[in-house]
Amino acid sequence: METKYLLILVVIMIVCFGIFFYQMDHNLDTIIVFNSTEIPENGTAVGYLMDSFGRGIPNKTITFHKPGNKMGTLVTVTTDENGTFFIKNLEYLPNVGKDNYYGNFTFAGDDKYKGSTFNQKLTVIPKG
């Protein structure tokens, strides 16, 4: 009789481990973070796409708006093997007024990761 209960316990344990590892690798939350939200003109913004365990997510597309771009005009960048992405040569456009920022950073998600949005704006600080 004890062998029967031990076998049932082992099966339950295997099922629990299977569920745990499946959830650890499917439908994970994601987060977009930046090294700074104020970047000097012609500088580089460094961003990071990570999962809820803090692991970088490689080869994913991040979309965003540049200063002065009309709504609906998106620019894309791809994360590297560590989940890091770079936006180089940030522009300061003095004639665009309140729209002088980089924003709406979004990862759309896929079959493994949930989408996410960085809700702050990156402000470009003009030179001298």
Q: What's the chain's average pLDDT?
A: 85
Alpha helices for the chain (secondary structure H): 2-24
Cβ 79 vs Cβ 86: under 8 Å: no
- 16-42 in b/e burial notation, b at 16+ Cβ within 10 A? eeeeeeeeeeeebebebebeeeebeee
Position 97 in a domain: yes
For residue 14, being part of any structural domain is answered with no
Report the domain count for the chain: 1
Each residue of 6-34: pLDDT tens digit?
777 777 777 666 656 655 566 889 999 99
In which domain, by residue range, is 92 found?
A: 29-125
Residue 33 located in a structural domain: yes
Residue 90 inside a domain? The answer is yes
Strand, helix or coil for residue 90: coil
Is there a domain that residue 59 lies in? Answer: yes
Residue 19 lies in a domain: no
> Domain with 93 in it: what CATH number?
2.60.40.1930
Tell me, what's the pLDDT at 67? 84
**Is residue 21 included in any domain, yes or no?**
no
Of all residues in the chain, what percent carry a pLDDT higher than 90? 50
